[in-house]
Structure 1
Amino acid sequence: MTAAEVAAHLLGSCSFLEQFSAYMFGSALRGIGEDVDILVVGPGGEALSQLKRELQAASEFLPLHILYMLPSEERRTDFVAREKCVPLEQVMVATES
């Protein structure tokens, strides 16, 4: 599966992603590697629990590595910029053209 297909699959399968910022990073963006790295930034609580269940089901046959961060953690580490994370919506659109 391409990065765009993975992004489309996750966005289409996981309605709770709308409440979070979700990114792809790592080698999958360059079409290499055997796993897909996903960063999810948002609050904890019930919405996160629901999202984890959705992601588990959506990733049953995908080699996903998912990292969850609170917004304060992401800001403190500057993870999105440092790791060149790309929003899932942008991954999906960028390779559809």
Structure 2
Amino acid sequence: MSSPKVLKIVFVIGIVATLAALVLAPKVEGYGDFVARVFLVSLGALSLTYSAYAIKKGEVEVKGFTSKRSDSPALFWFGICVYLFLGCSMLGISLMQIYT
């Protein structure tokens, strides 16, 4: 399976999971926390998947600026580190429940 396809699949799964949690979860105390946890896990997974995709492709886009590994390796790896940190922190926040 190609990398762009995997990235799109992870994105769609995240949207479907968040919407399913929003609609199907019982509206009791802790409802918002559950939906937020599903969203944060989806966001973390998408960020980590994008990091892998950017490493394979050799270019990363951060805030509309594209950096190629061949042109500026330091900026490329900085962008990768930003996405890796974002993904790991979103997964960590959702697992340790420190956002509430």
Same fold (TM over 0.5): no
Which has the larger helix fraction?
A: 2
Which has the larger strand fraction?
A: 1
Higher relative contact order (CA 8 A, sep 6+): 1
TM-score, reference length from structure 2: 0.28
TM-score, reference length from structure 1: 0.29
Structure whose CA Rg is larger: 2
